[in-house]
Amino acid sequence: MHLIALTGGIASGKSTVAQRWQQRGAVIVDADALAREVVAPGSPVLDSIAKQFGPEVIALDGSLKRGALGSLIFGDNSARAALNAITHPAIGRLAQQRFDEASRIDPQAVVVYDIPLLVESAQSLDRFELVVTVEAESDVRIQRLIRHRNMDANEAAGRIASQATAEQRQAVADIVIDANGSLDETKRRADEVWSLIEERLRSRL
């Protein structure tokens, strides 16, 4: 199995790259999907969140009230760190299960871990053969959030500011994909990088 990390901030174009690579044969493990899975009603992670942040973050049906939790941690670094300490280890364990499953099915699988909070999770990068980050300028990302997610400019800027900086992501990356352009341009760059990845993997074999 070949394990690659794919990261990038909100509205950077990372999901477009992941979808493109999946079409090219990659196995995608989506950290955001795992994050939703680990907080399923009745899960130990959700219980820990309720103990840390109070019963007001749990809905009547036992599910996580994401809006309520988000309002508690937004702009509060210590609260965000407390949440990450609860969720990141569980997400990491579940991700490893997905990697192992993919490896059992195909020992030569190229597995891409789509993880927007790679830098924030402070995990070891040694297990990844490559780290790729997708980047776009802040003003481009703000316009995407306004257009596609109905945020206002202040909310969009705040969401971007709450994540690692482009410089922090690029500091750990082997490859940077520029996604400032159109959707088609981003897809073309994703294809170019995928061809480069395949070439690197072939040379290692």
Per-residue pLDDT tens digits for 162-197: 899 999 999 999 999 999 999 999 999 999 999 999
pLDDT tens column, 15-36: 999 999 999 999 999 999 999 9
Q: How far apart (Å, rounded) are the C-alpha atoms in residues 117 and 73?
A: 15
- Burial class, 180, CB count within 10 angstroms (exposed 0-12 / middle 13-18 / buried 19+): middle
What's the average pLDDT block by block, 10 residues per block, for the chain (205 residues)?
96 97 97 96 96 95 93 86 93 96 96 94 88 97 96 93 94 97 97 94 73
Domains recognised in the chain with CATH numbers: 2-204 (3.40.50.300)
